[in-house]
Amino acid sequence: MHGPFLQAHATHPDGRMALALVAAQMDAQRAARPDFAATLGLIYLTDALAHQAADVIEEAQQRWPGVQFAGTVGVGVCASGVEYDQEPALVMLLMHLPREQFRCFHGRQPLAGDDVWTALVHADPATPDLPELLDELANRTETRYLFGGLTASRNRSLQW
């Protein structure tokens, strides 16, 4: 029995090429799992690709229509058995989860708090009053448990 996840990673100075390499890995994994239907995707880019983030996300949405994507930028990113630091890289996790079990949220579409168990949060450390905002967000979940991380970039801090 396979879990509800596929993961892939690649390094390339062109973000779209890194995504193409990741897509090839995903396609190979998916071939063994015809029942896998991705609904949620996490994309993490090193800050060397931050200036290409919009193109990468747009391309991912075209490759996997109907998948909701979230993610952020880091100075380094990790995947199973590999760490990319100080180089252009992309890490992706595709998940096969029932749509009613997750919801993407952001400042313009906040988390409502109705039956929210926990939250995966990506935040910009430069956000004013971030500790208070995180505490408020935790209070909107049943467990008060938040996990995730802060954007870490030498140039552009981005979350999607």
- Give the span between the Cα atoms of 120 and 39, in whole angstroms: 16
pLDDT in tens, 86-96: 899 999 999 99
Residue 149: how many other CB atoms lie within 10 Å: 13
Q: 6 is written with which tokens?
A: 């596929």
For the chain, give the mean pLDDT: 90
* 110 has pLDDT over 80: no
The pTM (predicted TM-score) of the whole model is: 0.89
Residue 34: alpha-carbon gap to chain centroid: 23
Between residues 153 and 6, the one the model is more confident about: 6
- Burial of residue 66 (number of CB atoms within 10 Å: 0-12, 13-18, 19+): exposed
Q: What 8-state DSSP symbol labels residue 87?
A: S
How is the chain split among helix, strand and coil, in percent rounded to 5? 30, 30, 40
